[in-house]
Amino acid sequence: MTGRGQANALSRATAILAALFFATSILMSIIAGWSKAPHSILTRGPGAPASQEAPQPVSPGNILDQLKQLQGQSNAPAAPVAPAAPAPAPAPAQKP
């Protein structure tokens, strides 16, 4: 087989494999979503119980400020803080 024939065979094989890849990807995404029922993310977040009370409105401002407010409101215990590393010992004086 010449170099030109090999290039044609590789191009054809690549195109066929690419088409098979796309077809299987689309088929798997259809199968994965087959049994899912539609739901709204506004009424209930992922993993939240259905009987949870409505969230409090968040005041406008910086997202970091909003996160700090939410963290202050949570009742979860804070993560333990690791102790600081000890200061390095001073190097001994060298004699000339």
Could you read off the pLDDT of 13-50 as tens digits, one per residue?
999 999 999 999 999 999 988 877 777 777 765 555 55
Which range marks the domain in which residue 13 is found?
Answer: 1-33
d(CA 20, CA 28): 12
Query: How many domains does the structure of the chain reveal?
Result: 1
User: Is 6 within the bounds of a domain?
Assistant: yes
List pLDDT tens digits, range 57-96.
Answer: 655 677 888 888 888 776 555 556 666 667 677 777 776 6
For residue 61, tell me if it sits in a domain: no
One DSSP character per residue, 5-62 reads HHHHHHHHHHHHHHHHHHHHHHHHHHHHTTTPPP--TTT--TT--TTPPPPPPPPSS-
